Amino acid sequence: MILKKLLTGSGSVVGLVRQLGGVTTTTTVVKTSQQQRFFSIGKKSSPKILITGGLGQLGTECAKLLRGTYGEDSVILSDIIKPSEEIVNSGPYIFADILDFKGLQKIVVDHRVDWIIHFSALLSAIGEQNVPLAVRVNIEGLHNVIELAKQYKLRVFVPSTIGAFGPDSPRNPTPNVTIQRPRTIYGVSKVHAELIGEYYHHKFGLDFRCLRFPGVISSDPPGGGTTDYAVAIFFEALKSGKYECYLKPDTRLPMMYIDDCLRSLHEFMTAPEEKLERRVYNVTAMSFTPEELVNELAKHIPEIHVSYRPDSRQAIADSWPQVFDDQDARRDWGWQHQYDLEKLVSLMVKDVRENYVNKGLSNV
Ligand SMILES: NC(=O)c1ccc[n+]([C@@H]2O[C@H](COP(=O)([O-])OP(=O)(O)OC[C@H]3O[C@@H](n4cnc5c(N)ncnc54)[C@H](O)[C@@H]3O)[C@@H](O)[C@H]2O)c1
């Protein structure tokens, strides 16, 4: 109505349409004889977002956050797993195998996808158990996604990890740019992803964005990484008061609560290009050892008893950063974490107790 008035009025109307990572914003400039005014019409239209590997630890929560922001139908969750009824009822879900380039192409075209959030991967401990599959999923799959993003001019997010560092890297703190040389196939594939993404950005202008996450803690089942103990301990300790930890008590690793992790992803995806000095950033919130986590948990579960039996994951953890330096992310696009160890533990205790233990459920 207002627009119609403006169009038929005495002022001249100029419609400006800007492309912002596939997101269209329309601004109408109305010039009257006395003044010049700017009107935004109909808000910014939402990007259409495809999440690959969406039924893992991060995917469903990420879809919830983005659907809350952009609307249910703007976010398509995908994986190769048969979804639960709850997933199907919560918004669009489709089958997408990242090893099938044509299949991915069809999805991007049919759904007019603007952003890909590429979560599919085999994590560190699982990757060591099946190296050829990890090479296929983590490297060949990534090639498909990057090439597709280039062809269709998509904004693409690929998470990297503290596992992209190795025994030659400085561990406390680990800066954004330093020696990497990881010793797991997971880490090697993530360094490859970082480098090929940066290369496509410089060579073809691909809008590649990558955050190196620390261990992410949430009540959803983790996918077989080295930091999984920091999720499992809540379930075991609240159920039985006991936990056997596969890392030594003094193994310090960087960690983050899932809300911080996904907020960092969203803030980074919407950060203006000109603020990004680089395409790959470290982000973190805290660092702790199993012993420090147990001490904090003991405030909620005084009877807790934890024993330690290190396995093959100890060697992986010993080659990873202990403290992650994320000052570049804080400086360039304003990253700030909200959850420290104390807050994280009380939230996790409440969540796991109310939503799982009291209902007789587990997260696996
Ligand atoms: N969870 C963490 O602590 C953490 C930390 C750092 C980085 N990351 C990264 O974040 C991403 C998501 O992690 P997550 O913990 O949710 O992983 P996850 O292991 O829980 O989920 C990965 C998903 O990928 C899917 N997948 C496997 N093969 C596939 C294929 N061929 N096609 C499509 N999907 C396939 C799996 O079915 C699974 O649901 C990964 O890339 C991981 O490296 C996670």
Instruction: Specify whether the CB–CB gap between 319 and 182 falls below 8 A.
Output: yes
* Distance between Cα 43 and ligand 1 center (Å): 33
Does residue 94 have its Cβ closer than 6 Å to ligand 1?
Answer: no
Q: Are strands 36-40 and 49-52 parallel, antiparallel or unpaired?
A: unpaired
pLDDT of 222 reads 87
* Interstrand relation of 253-257 and 75-79 (parallel, antiparallel or unpaired): unpaired
CA distances from 270 to 66, 266, 359 (A): 12, 6, 38
Ligand 1 in reach of 324 Cβ (< 6 A):
no
* pLDDT for the residue numbered 42: 40
The structural domains of the chain, with segments of one domain joined by +, span 121-359
pLDDT number for residue 349: 97
Q: Given this model, what pLDDT does residue 215 score? A: 97
Atom of ligand 1 nearest to the CA of 222: 20
pLDDT at position 44:
54
143-159 pLDDT, tens per residue?
Answer: 999 999 999 999 999 99
Task: State which ligand 1 atom lies nearest to the alpha carbon of 54.
Answer: 39
Polymer length of the chain: 364
- pLDDT score of 361: 87
The pLDDT, as a whole number, for residue 353 is 96
Residue 285 Cβ contacting ligand 1 at under 6 Å: no
* Selected catalytic residue, list 70, 186, 246, 257: 186
Annotation says 186 is catalytic: yes
Locate 85 and state its tokens. Answer: 């009824």
Per-residue pLDDT of the chain (364 residues; tens, 9 = 90+): 333 333 333 333 333 333 444 444 433 333 333 333 323 334 458 999 999 999 999 999 999 999 999 999 999 999 999 999 999 999 999 999 999 999 999 999 999 999 999 999 999 999 999 999 999 999 999 999 999 999 999 999 999 999 999 999 999 999 999 999 999 999 999 999 999 999 999 999 999 999 999 999 999 988 899 999 999 999 999 999 999 999 999 999 999 999 999 999 999 999 999 999 999 999 999 999 999 999 999 999 999 999 999 999 999 999 999 999 999 999 999 999 999 999 999 999 999 999 999 998 888 7
Tell me what pLDDT residue 303 has: 96
Q: 96 is written with which tokens?
A: 């997408």
CATH class of domain segment(s) 121-359 = alpha beta
pLDDT of residue 345: 98
Q: Find out whether the beta carbon of 59 lies less than 6 Å from any atom of ligand 1.
A: yes
